[in-house]
Structure 1
Amino acid sequence: MSVSRSPLYVRRPVLAGLLRQLPLLAVLVMVGTGLLLVTFDHWRRGLVVIGLSLIIAGLLRLLLPVRRVGFLAVRSRPTDVVLLAVAGLVLAVTALTIPAA
């Protein structure tokens, strides 16, 4: 005898909504870490961390299904992936190529 359970978004909509935003939360924590590094005069390392977090956001957008990606899905999947990856790469490469004073 099997008992059918209703989906999580019906039983606990707030919890389901929070779980859906975990990819965005992970990216925001990384960006916050990068900004914290910039604040403490490690600007190059901080900008590289922010760039890598954008690249990871692009990878998450590429790999996760739409129902799991949350607010990382803004536009179409190809557009989101390309914009996030290019922005992250440009930021990281630019930070690494600026000569140290």
Structure 2
Amino acid sequence: MTVQTRPSQAAEGRSRRWRRPAIVHLPFGLVAAFAVAGLVRIVQYHWRQGAVLLGVALVVAAALRLVLSDERAGLIVIRSRPVDALLYSGLGAAVLFIALTITGGPFG
């Protein structure tokens, strides 16, 4: 007697395989969305707001890197978890500090 798999089980397995890559890229997509929004604001001559959004993108990347496993973090994984989190958060804090403290300049 052979065991037959139901077509729904096979279809479910295929759909899970196709959903997994999309889910893995969600953290990167979130970080990229903040970065693109920041770049749009910079192009519109609102450089402080754009720089803040870029800093937020880096801080979000650090938080996601700390919370998610290597497999689920997807494209935001560069090195080990502590190194990634330290570098993302450090650079994000520096960008935020500079964007929030500089006054004046050609873009006023």
Which bracket does the TM-score occupy, shorter chain normalised? Answer: 0.7 to 0.9
- State whether structure 2 residue 44 is matched by structure 1 residue 11: no
Alignment of 1:56-95 (within 5 A): 56-95=60-99
Report the TM-score when normalising by structure 2: 0.80
User: Which runs of 5 or more residues in structure 1 are unaligned?
Assistant: none
Structure 1 residue runs of 4 or more that deviate by more than 2 Å after TM superposition:
10-15
In the alignment, the residues of structure 1 paired with residue 18 and residue 29 of structure 2 have an alpha-carbon distance, to the nearest angstrom, of 15
User: Which runs of 5 or more residues in structure 2 are unaligned?
Assistant: 1-5
Deviation at 1:77, TM superposition (A): 0.2
Aligned length: 96
In the alignment, the residues of structure 2 paired with residue 24 and residue 100 of structure 1 have an alpha-carbon distance, to the nearest angstrom, of 34
Deviation string, structure 1 residues 37-89 (Cα, Å, up to 9, x no partner): 00111100110111011001000000112221111111000000000000001
Identity %: 32
**Among residues 94, 100, 103, which one is paired with 1:99 in the alignment?**
103
- State whether structure 2 residue 92 is matched by structure 1 residue 52: no
In the alignment, the residues of structure 2 paired with residue 60 and residue 18 of structure 1 have an alpha-carbon distance, to the nearest angstrom, of 16
